[in-house]
């Protein structure tokens, strides 16, 4: 169960990171910085 919870936590963090990265990209933040 502990291993499963850790996997879920990592997945949640990854999903959040992807969501934030997409939001910045949609705002043109990443393209502006490059």
pLDDT of residue 4: 85
Cβ contact 25:31 at 8 Å: yes
B/e letters for 1-34, b = 16+ CB within 10 Å, e = fewer, are eeeeeeeeeeeeeeeeeeeeeeeeeeeeeeeeee
Specify the pLDDT at position 26: 80
| pTM (predicted TM-score) | 0.51
pLDDT at 25: 82
pLDDT of res. 27: 77
State residue 13's pLDDT score: 94
Q: What pLDDT is attached to residue 11? A: 92
CA distance 24 to 33: 11
- 30 Cβ contact partners less than 8 Å away, ≥ 6 residues apart: 21, 24
pLDDT tens digits, one per residue of 1-34: 688 889 889 999 999 999 988 888 887 766 676 5
């Amino acid at each position: 169960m502990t291993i499963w919870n850790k996997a879920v936590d990592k997945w949640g963090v990854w999903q959040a990171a992807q969501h934030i990265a997409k939001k910045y990209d949609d705002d043109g933040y990443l393209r502006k910085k490059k």
